[in-house]
Amino acid sequence: MNGATSRSIRWAQAGLLVNAALVLVKLIAGIIGHANALVADAVESSADIFSSVIVWMGLSIAARPADEDHPYGHGKAEPLAAAVVSLMLLGAAVGIAILAIREIITPHHLPSPWTLFVAAGVILIKEGLYQRVSRVGREVGSTVVVADAWHHRADAISSLAAFVGISVALWRGWPAADDWAALLAAVLVAVNGIRTLRPAISGLMDEAPDRAVQHRALDAALHVPGVRHVENLNVRASGLGFYVDLHVQADPALSLEDAHEIAARVKYAILDALPNVLKVLVHMEPFREGAKEPDESVFTLPPV
């Protein structure tokens, strides 16, 4: 298990512990303090617990090495887990909305003033957790960690809505204010769920990563002595790593052994340039002067 995966799993575990504690705090405070927005917030946080478990499992599976049944590794577990987490966000939004609408049409007591402090504390904790986990997700390039971070941000937003709703309810003597706030929070949570679902689907559909990765691989290949031409360079994300395949053209007079040596140098040059690359497949071809370039992905070096 590499360092990026270990960091991601540690923060998933931290999120699991924090979410478990906050669910209890918000649920108890919401019930005792008659703050339905906090109860709705606790429901959303309970989804966070399951999402943290899924993130943890997804990262652990994605880190497993390739085997006979999975020759390309288990990297797809990472975007699959991200998709599940995003769908859980959408499910949590629906649950919060249903609870809020039910409470809006049902008269109830004003929330207790001390529930404001609970909501404020949750906002600070969850926003801090979002900032840290989001930074880790960007650093390691993990869609599932970024999705998990947005779960924390969604929780902070729903707690902020609860804070505003409770404040308005106490200030104006309008008990349903915190329920309307919970309904608004449901909409915001749904938006975040949709936002994190797209990159997860992209990972499952093998969408090409940022072109900067392709350009770095290309630059490494073109600087290998003997390489005259590079075409069809493709990069595919798998978990926290990449698979690279490319066609390299060299002098047609080279022996098979020399061509094999160039291919090996290209492979290790790309691995050195991109530590996150898991595997490089190099197909050697003879270089032909004046060959028609099929598209912009074809690159040529002048003869040495």
Mark which of 204, 223, 247 sits at the end of a domain: 204
Give pLDDT tens digits for 248-295: 999 998 999 999 999 999 999 999 998 878 889 999 999 877 654 444
Query: How large a percentage of the chain has pLDDT more than 90?
Result: 15
Instruction: Please indicate, yes or no, whether residues 17 and 78 belong to a single structural domain of this protein.
Output: yes
pLDDT at 290: 60
Q: Is the dihedral of CA 52, 186, 35, 153 positive or negative?
A: positive
Cβ partners under 8 Å of residue 3, min gap 6: none
Domain region containing 133: 3-204
Which CATH number covers residue 127? Answer: 1.20.1510.10
**Mean pLDDT for all residues in the chain:** 78
Instruction: Please indicate, yes or no, whether residues 138 and 242 belong to a single structural domain of this protein.
Output: no
Q: Using the predicted structure, report yes or no on whether residue 138 has a pLDDT greater than 50.
A: yes
Q: Using the predicted structure, report yes or no on whether residue 62 has a pLDDT greater than 80.
A: no
Instruction: Please indicate, yes or no, whether residues 165 and 257 belong to a single structural domain of this protein.
Output: no
* Residues forming beta bridges with residue 300, ordered by sequence position: 229
Instruction: Please indicate, yes or no, whether residues 182 and 46 belong to a single structural domain of this protein.
Output: yes
Give pLDDT tens digits for 95-125: 778 877 887 787 666 777 888 888 888 888 8
Instruction: Please indicate, yes or no, whether residues 194 and 236 belong to a single structural domain of this protein.
Output: no
- From CA 178, how far away is CA 180, in angstroms rounded? 5
Instruction: Please indicate, yes or no, whether residues 125 and 18 belong to a single structural domain of this protein.
Output: yes
Element spanning 299, H or E: strand 299-300
Mark which of 176, 204, 232 sits at the end of a domain: 204
Of 14, 17, 9, 88, the C-alpha closest to 56 is 9
Instruction: Please indicate, yes or no, whether residues 189 and 128 belong to a single structural domain of this protein.
Output: yes
Give pLDDT tens digits for 225-254: 999 989 889 888 776 678 899 999 999 989
Which CATH number covers residue 242? Answer: 3.30.70.1350
Tokens standing for residue 187: 């909409």
Place 303 in a pLDDT band, splitting at 50, 70 and 90. very low
pLDDT at 270: 94
Instruction: Please indicate, yes or no, whether residues 22 and 159 belong to a single structural domain of this protein.
Output: yes
pLDDT at 304: 40
- How many domains in the chain? 2
Instruction: Please indicate, yes or no, whether residues 95 and 228 belong to a single structural domain of this protein.
Output: no
- From CA 103, how far away is CA 107, in angstroms rounded? 7
Placement of tokens 């999705």 in the chain: 147
- From CA 219, how far away is CA 140, in angstroms rounded? 22
Q: State the CB neighbour count (10 A cutoff) for residue 215.
A: 12
Instruction: Please indicate, yes or no, whether residues 199 and 246 belong to a single structural domain of this protein.
Output: no
Mark which of 178, 204, 230 sits at the end of a domain: 204
Element spanning 254, H or E: none
Instruction: Please indicate, yes or no, whether residues 124 and 163 belong to a single structural domain of this protein.
Output: yes
Placement of tokens 């887990």 in the chain: 81
Cβ-contact 270, 244 below 8 angstroms: yes
- C-alpha separations of 284 from 34, 70, 233, 252 in Å: 71, 26, 12, 10
Query: How large a percentage of the chain has pLDDT more than 70?
Result: 81
